[in-house]
Amino acid sequence: MYKIVVGSRLEERFAEFLQGNVEEAIIPSNKTAEARTNPEYQRYQRVRRPPLNVIYIGFNTQHKPFDDKRVRQAFNYAVNREAIVREITRMGSLPASGVLPPGMLGYDPELQGYPYSPAQAELLLAEAGYPRGAGFPVVQLWTNHKAESTKAELVAYQRYLAEVGVQVEIHFAPDWSTYQSMLEHRKLSMFRLAWRADIPDPDNVFSPLLHSASPTNRTFYRNVQVDQLLEQARKAFDDRQRVALYRRVERIVMDETPWILQHYEAFEYLYQPYVRGIEVSPLGKRAIPMKAIWLHKSVPESSGGTTSSSQ
């Protein structure tokens, strides 16, 4: 039996799990420490693996004010991503330092990302014509993800950007189809999204997110050099050559920053003790072989029989 859950209300799903109504649940950020230390949780199976993904706050780079690279860079400097991930997101997540997550071919450990620097943010906003945020339009920050941790993340963005003079309003789309339509029709200027790799190859991250012809390029980022490098990398057979090309792409994009790269999300779930055959690959939940999973529940003793199990 499948239980269809509308929306990403992690806390509600977790409560259902604890009541025994579902077989699996992601551990919400406000329950991470408790799930690791409280003996009550030892009866469950805890499965953790860092999959290949990145969570980001995107900008519509074709519309003002985010058509100006200085504004996008200013927003990156204005937000303390490390604090957000450490104090709010949790769940085993890591602050993102680049586009590619650890474990992916071409991951560059030398990339550091944007440090938290409100002073640098103010300087760039002034250069872009918005001294201390004067004249900057109110920004609508959108998501369809309704977990409490996501709400807290966006409130943190709101607070950090207010410190450099930018007013942010937080909005929630009712469902993914509505959100997707708004993104595709370029109605959103700033939005929270995730990208999860379908195959463990850097092209599956860079091309869908950054190539100008990609339908999932939600930031509408356009760079002829990046397009050419991505196409060249697709034709290369030598992994060393491909890695060199992708690292050139990544450094260009880190400078032009069509987004704020927030974190690499960890797969951290609890399963009921009777669930068997769980196999998690770097591709995360979508690649779990469901045909390998079975339920091994004990059958209560009857008056004249013995305890057996069902599969």
Domain 53-264 in CATH 3.10.105.10? The answer is yes
pLDDT at 303 over 80: no
As annotated, the residues of the chain forming the CATH 3.10.105.10 domain(s) are 53-264
Asked if omega into 65 is within 30° of 0 (cis), the reply is yes
Number of H helices, E strands in the chain: 10, 13
pLDDT at 310 over 50: no
Q: Could you tell me which residue, 63 or 51, shows the higher pLDDT?
A: 63
The class that CATH gives domain 10-48+267-310 is alpha beta
Q: Could you tell me which residue, 283 or 149, shows the higher pLDDT?
A: 149
Q: Which two tokens stand for residue 281?
A: 């690959």
Using a pLDDT cut of 70, give the percent of the chain over it: 89
Name residue 112's beta-bridge partners. none
Taking alpha carbons only, the member of 264, 119, 298 closest to residue 195 is 264
Taking alpha carbons only, the member of 146, 154, 136, 102 closest to residue 10 is 146
Q: Could you tell me which residue, 41 or 10, shows the higher pLDDT?
A: 41
Per DSSP, 190 falls in state E
Condensed to tens digits (0 to 9), the pLDDT of residues 169-190 reads 999 999 999 999 999 999 999 9
Confidence of residue 165 (pLDDT cuts 50, 70, 90): very high
Q: What is the pLDDT of residue 291?
A: 72
Q: What is the mean pLDDT of residues 237-251?
A: 96
**From 165-174, 194-203, 223-232, 249-258, the region with the lowest mean pLDDT:** 194-203
Condensed to tens digits (0 to 9), the pLDDT of residues 247-260 reads 999 999 999 999 99
pTM: 0.80
| Identity of the amino acid at 164 | V
As annotated, the residues of the chain forming the CATH 3.40.190.10 domain(s) are 10-48+267-310
